[in-house]
A and B are shown apart, each in its own frame.
Chain A
Amino acid sequence: MAALPPPGRVLKTTRLGWLTAALVAAGALCVVFPFFWMAVTSLKTVPEIQRLPLSIFPDRWSNLDNYREVFHRQPFGRFLLNSALVASIAALSSAVVSSLAGYGFAKFRFPGHGVLFFAIVGILMVPFQSVVVPLYLWVNRLGLLDTYAGIVAPDLVSVFGVFLMRQSIEVVPSDYVDAARIDGAGELGIFWRVILPAVKPAIATLVIVKFMWTWNELFWPLVVVNSPTMKVVTLGLVSFTNMYFIEYNLVTAAAVVSVLPILAVFLACQKWIVRGVVMSGLKG
């Protein structure tokens, strides 16, 4: 029997293969275009963005005046710091609580085990917007409006995290746990020295994905933040736009400022993020 060439090779030599490649590449360029357009606009002056005929590239690539102006008009440094702080707290607390719960659900049987896990899964069906009014009233009652604690309160754990950690811890052999127990290790010691080292990749995924989600969130910060100094960067970007919305050279510069840190994280950790998306395909 003649050896069959792999499907990729067959396709590559055909016209269909070339067409597919051209379409995939063209589509990718279309998807990236808004980023490109944001970047070049942020380097242009007002006359440049209003020029006819349109000039695609900025006259001076080193023109950072828009960025200076953005930081001058609004405390974007503070916004970035707020976002970084809130997203870090959310990511860390999520990692801790989720791996504890994931271990509990994966390796123990206790009364209410099934019911509790089912209830947590059920929370996936509760859209955040359905609970936002009572949550706001609680945060208000506790005097947490305009505080970091208030901003981060609903983001401390996500169902996604509990899911991810349970799935990952389930495949850690129970023999390891039993062996450590026979050696006289305490339950927390087992968690710390046996389980956590075995699921480091899952924890990395969780921390990165959770950091990204929290960084990009708008709805809840919009509800609980009033003072300019407590704004996270999404909120800062929206209010900046509401104030100077015709000045797109500034708006795009502000957008670049808000996006750049998370894009850096994304590009550095893409592997883990893809893993997170694939492993669960859900957002909680």
Chain B
Amino acid sequence: MDRQRRAGLLFVLPAVVYFGCVFLVPLIESVLGSFYRSVPGGASQFVGTRLYVKVLTDPTFWQAVGNTVSLLVMSVPLTVVLALAVALGLHRLQRLRWRSAWAAMYFLPFAVSLVAAALIWQWIYDPVYGALNHFLGALRLPPLKWLQSLDLVRPSLALVNVWARLGFDTVIFLAALQAIPAEFYEAAAIDGAGPVQALRRITLPLLNPQIVMVAILELIFNFKIFDTVYATTQGGPAGASQTVIMLLYDTAFKYFRLGDASVMAVFVFVSLLLVTLLQWRLFRRQVEY
């Protein structure tokens, strides 16, 4: 190996070693750990796929999976559609007064921790003194229990996620919109296309890669939802907001059933891997035409 090639290898070495230690080795250990039952006292015992059978037949686990899916079904489409709408609006209003300030307002929640976001919203959702119920009262509507209600807890948490993520997605869409050449719209206008047609025939098709990317990013983000739930409901009421990562955390660090937690870790990894593969497929289809 000549001097230069060795230098290149040395430059990347710290990062490679680090990622190996912090991600690759632990990932392998997680997979191996899912085949062992840890016994109090430190010893562990090989149990084959018994933990998989145990976790994957546990209704609590599937309830958590169901809750997670229902959360992301509510928040992902809403976030993407709203972000798209806001980005289109902001893009159209190039001459709006204080345009960058309006844009920054949407982006603001991105800066704060999800913990702080969740706590602010918990106060807004407060069943007695919360701003939201005051608002309902002003409309002569009965107060709701939001985070304490079996039916509303997931929509309420989903809304917090939408709020937290809207700005991030908007920024991506705005950048993509700015990259579309203005001549496209001028040509369309000369051909007599109205704004709706321009949107359907030019903007949305050209934005498709970003829409797919943002949707996948949101899917992954929402699948891993933890902070907001942990800071507010801790999975309650009656497990109605228990999510997969919440369950993983409790199983590992509250009940110290590390084997069970490893099974869940593998489940999370494989699920998100499938999502990523789906993303690649979608992108490849994109390139075809």
Chain A residues near B1 (CB-CB < 8 A) = 110-111
Q: In the assembly, what is the distance between CA of A4 and CA of B82, in Å?
A: 30
* Contact of B119 with A237 in the complex, beta carbons under 8 Å: yes
* Contact of B30 with A251 in the complex, beta carbons under 8 Å: no
* Contact of B16 with A120 in the complex, beta carbons under 8 Å: yes
Most A CB within 10 A of own CB, among B16, B107, B114: B16
Kindly state whether residue A187 has any CB partner on chain B within 8 Å: yes
A197–chain B nearest beta-carbon distance, Å: 17
User: Number of B residues contacting the other chain (C-beta, 8 Å)?
Assistant: 98
Q: In the assembly, what is the distance between CA of A136 and CA of B273, in Å?
A: 23
Kindly state whether residue B262 has any CB partner on chain A within 8 Å: yes
Chain A residues near B26 (CB-CB < 8 A) = 131-135, 138
Kindly state whether residue B151 has any CB partner on chain A within 8 Å: no
Q: Mark B213-226, 1 if CB is under 8 A from A, else 0.
A: 11001001100101
Kindly state whether residue B253 has any CB partner on chain A within 8 Å: yes
Q: A133-B261, A135-B26 are in contact. Are A108 and B276 (CB under 8 A)?
A: no
User: Number of A residues contacting the other chain (C-beta, 8 Å)?
Assistant: 97
- Which of B52-60, B69-77, B166-174 contacts the other chain? B166-174
Kindly state whether residue B65 has any CB partner on chain A within 8 Å: no
Kindly state whether residue A32 has any CB partner on chain B within 8 Å: yes
**A113: nearest residue on chain B (CB-CB)?**
B8
**B162: nearest residue on chain A (CB-CB)?**
A31
A241–chain B nearest beta-carbon distance, Å: 6
* Contact of A251 with B123 in the complex, beta carbons under 8 Å: yes
Q: A28-B105, A32-B105, A282-B217 are in contact. Are A7 and B182 (CB under 8 A)?
A: yes
Q: In the assembly, what is the distance between CA of A240 and CA of B109, in Å?
A: 21
* Contact of A54 with B134 in the complex, beta carbons under 8 Å: yes
Interface residues of B in 256-289 (CB under 8 A from A): 258, 261-262, 265-266, 268-269, 272-273, 276
* Contact of B114 with A216 in the complex, beta carbons under 8 Å: yes
Q: Mark B234-261, 1 if CB is under 8 A from A, else 0.
A: 0000000000010011001100001001
Chain A residues near B14 (CB-CB < 8 A) = 97, 100-101, 157
Chain B residues near A241 (CB-CB < 8 A) = 119, 231
Q: A20-B89, A187-B4, A283-B217 are in contact. List 11 more A-B contacts (CB 8 A).
A: A7-B185, A37-B131, A108-B8, A131-B29, A133-B262, A135-B22, A159-B19, A251-B119, A252-B120, A277-B168, A282-B217
Question: What 5 pairs between A and B have smallest CB-CB spacing?
Answer: A108-B8, A104-B11, A266-B111, A101-B15, A216-B113
